[in-house]
Amino acid sequence: MNARVFAVAVPLLDDTKLAVDMFDDPAAEQTVFSFPFSPLASKIKSRLLYRRHHNEAMQLRDIDQRRFSGQPYVYVTGIYCLTADAVTCRFHATVPYEAGARYEAFVVDAAGNSVGANMQMLEDCVVPDRHDRHSMLRELSYSVRLRGSDRTLCVNVVQHGAPAAQGCFACLWPSDVDGFTNGATEELRHASQDPQYPEWFERHRATPADVIRQRRRCSQWDNRPLISIVTPVFRTPAAYLRAMIASVLAQSYGRFELILVNVSGVYPAVDAVLAEFDDPRIRVIVAENLSISENTNVGIEAAEGDYLAFVDHDDTIEPDALYRYMSVVQEDPQTDLMYCDEDHLKTDHYEWPTFKPDFNPDLLYTHNYITHMLMVSRHALSQIELSGPEVAGAQDYDLTLKCSQVARSIHNVPYMLYHWREHANSTSVSIGSKPYAVEAGSIALHKHFERMGLDVAVHDRAVPCTYAVDYQSQQKPLISIIIPTKDHADMLSVCLESIVDKTAYDNYEIVCVENNSTDDATFEYYEEIQRRSQRIRVVTWPGQGFNYSAICNFGASQCKGDIMLFLNNDTEVINGDWLGSMVNFFGRPDVGVVGAKLYNYDGLVQHGGVLVVPGGLDYINQNFSENGTGYMNLLRFPSDMAAVTGACQMISRKVFDEVGGFDEDFAVSLNDVDICLKAKQHGYVTVFDPDASLYHRESSSHGRDDLDVRKLKRLENEKFRFFSAWPNLERGHFVNINLDQYNGHFKIA
């Protein structure tokens, strides 16, 4: 008789006692062998086994995760914070495919008690087994909401009606939970929060030797413009004023004048500091203290420079600041507006760096992300009116908006050159120190659109000094919502009902593009929805196979709207004003494409825009919670992006026709990115709109390309064609060059 050795994997639940039964036939209910299992006793025996039979123990270790038997297996993929006392735990199960099989997931604690709420299936798809092309696997992804205090967990996935032994589980100890949550924190920690920033800055700032070389280099330039630095001074603390002036005088580019507009009145402390400096490049103008706009204008009107820069009286700049700006001018003499990266200066250290993108109009229309250190050309200033007292507190915003309108060329200077000092009365600490600035910014923005000939309404957002612009208060163009669909009537039903029930914008039609469905229930549902709503039409694509681009192009030819929204059938509307928010941007003639913020069903962000660089693409700001703001508040405010996902992608018919629609060579992937890049090539921007929110059950209707060997090959071929078609993609345009260009979470490179 041949002996058999069985390895039995059981969940290690400290507060339970288990009995393990073995059967020849589960239906017979006759045990062949049974033994009790105690976690404490097991731990003791395990340690003895490692000492006495180390090799055998190592063979048993984690045997349940090795898939020797081809049985189902489950593993945790991440734990993310939702609120201060709640997390979402994501886990994945791979099971042999069995037609009609249903699975249930649940989580228990150390005592075997059920825990968790809002169990969501994020993904359910069937793919070929990579290890056996004749077999199929079912890939199931789940998410469950847990209390932050749940520290010992057993995650289970079982098949309905099957013996318990065919289920699978994964256990997490407190150290495992900490590892996942700490990993999530690190994943989402962006550049401004990086605790290593001070060390990075010290490695990258100009050294004394660099300054010497820069002075030598710029002395040889043929074009050496005069720079006027304008600084209104009002009762500045002596140490702060002294540091500011010293930082200007330390510049490696020496052809400048520092215009100090002293509006302090009788204030000996300021007078004493000003008397310390004997440099012909410093000009002190004593003036009456009016508004900050008018005080600044005194300096502008006295300036003699070819370029004017603005530095606050209590901040400092790096010694290579002017050199870096003028280096840009050497390469592009038509530069009319420049700005740089900045951080916050505390008493003894630098923190919260902001590495800014290149000029981003929609981000600027939300708030003044440019802020410091603004430099504008005399050429631009000669074409605008100076800021009046009505925009005092936002005069820099007003000046930026005006100059951006007339600028021939705008450049971000991607160096950390400006230090914004934090102290009790500084807006870097609280905008409450200058409440009038909120209204001033709104006025400046409204005037900007008046100059552009656009009739808009500007509204304050919840965050002070941030704004929302209503471009289409009087217009409601027809929107055609085009939904490619094949079978999955239940999924399409959720999508359509969410649109009809929740959408506040009322001028739309829905065109479902049928694509080779085979399920009778699908066609029955088509007839039902067309009877129920005159808004909904079903058209049939005449092609074979699956070509998303061709299906969308066909849908576009069948619809009536001037604005088209391409929407996946596995989406669900969250907020009622989503459609109105997206179409609003088309009130501007420069907007080509608009995308929405998409969530997974567990409430974590799936899509916040698409990062596109040479050889790489990534979703931006994934896995933040609903309240997450992301780097530079990019999950909170609209901004221009390289691309947005085609799962919810709005485009005007004019732009769609101009760029030739979707490229049908990209049958499944990258067609959405390609059309955004084509729009940019034709002079249009792509806007990410976080005020439009939907759920998206990604890959549920079409399946996962990366898990299917055949689809993966097609994906790689389409990637090759994409990057061949776009060989000149830019680094550093939408993501500052100091940041990792291949990471959608804005990490310092």
How many Cα neighbours within 13 Å face the side chain of 638? 25
| Distance from C-alpha of 742 to C-alpha of 749, rounded to nearest angstrom | 10
Query: Where, residue-wise, is CATH 3.90.550.10 in the chain?
Result: 197-434, 479-599+637-702
Query: Where, residue-wise, is CATH 2.60.40.10 in the chain?
Result: 1-188
Report the CATH number of the 197-434 domain.
3.90.550.10
- The per-residue pLDDT for 426 is 64
| Three-state DSSP class for residue 629 | coil
Whose CA is closest to 336, among 256, 255, 400? Answer: 400
Q: How far is CA 278 from CA 241, 273, 275, 287, in A?
A: 15, 11, 7, 21
- The per-residue pLDDT for 530 is 97
Q: How far is CA 137 from CA 101, 486, 704, in A?
A: 12, 21, 12
Report the CATH number of the 479-599+637-702 domain.
3.90.550.10
Tell me the two tokens of residue 267. 């204030």
Phi, psi torsion values for 254, nearest 5 degrees: -95, -5
Whether 130 and 180 have beta carbons less than 8 Å apart is answered as no
Instruction: State the alpha helices, DSSP H only, in 559-652.
Output: 578-584
| Distance from C-alpha of 420 to C-alpha of 372, rounded to nearest angstrom | 8
Residues of 389-412 as b/e, b for ≥16 C-beta within 10 angstroms?
A: eebbbbbbbbbbbbbbebbeebbb
> In what helix (H) or strand (E) does residue 463 lie, and over which residues does it extend?
none
- The per-residue pLDDT for 65 is 62
| Distance from C-alpha of 212 to C-alpha of 206, rounded to nearest angstrom | 10
Spans of the chain below 50 pLDDT: 1, 68
Encode pLDDT of 376-401 as tens digits.
Answer: 999 999 999 999 999 999 999 999 99
| Distance from C-alpha of 589 to C-alpha of 592, rounded to nearest angstrom | 8
For tokens 């509006």, name the residue: 263
Whether 242 and 276 have beta carbons less than 8 Å apart is answered as yes
Q: Parallel, antiparallel, or unpaired: how do β-strands 316-317 and 31-37 relate?
A: unpaired
| Distance from C-alpha of 329 to C-alpha of 64, rounded to nearest angstrom | 64
| Distance from C-alpha of 522 to C-alpha of 520, rounded to nearest angstrom | 5
| Distance from C-alpha of 304 to C-alpha of 638, rounded to nearest angstrom | 38
Tell whether domain 1-188 is in CATH 3.40.50.300. no
Locate the DSSP E strands across 654-730. Answer: 685-696
> In what helix (H) or strand (E) does residue 490 lie, and over which residues does it extend?
helix 489-502
Report which DSSP code applies to 497.
Answer: H
- The per-residue pLDDT for 396 is 98
| Distance from C-alpha of 123 to C-alpha of 303, rounded to nearest angstrom | 63
Whether 286 and 267 have beta carbons less than 8 Å apart is answered as no
Whether 636 and 690 have beta carbons less than 8 Å apart is answered as yes
| Cis omega (within 30 of 0) for bond into 373 | yes
Encode pLDDT of 332-371 as tens digits.
Answer: 999 999 999 999 999 889 999 999 999 999 999 999 999 9
576: amino acid identity, one letter: G
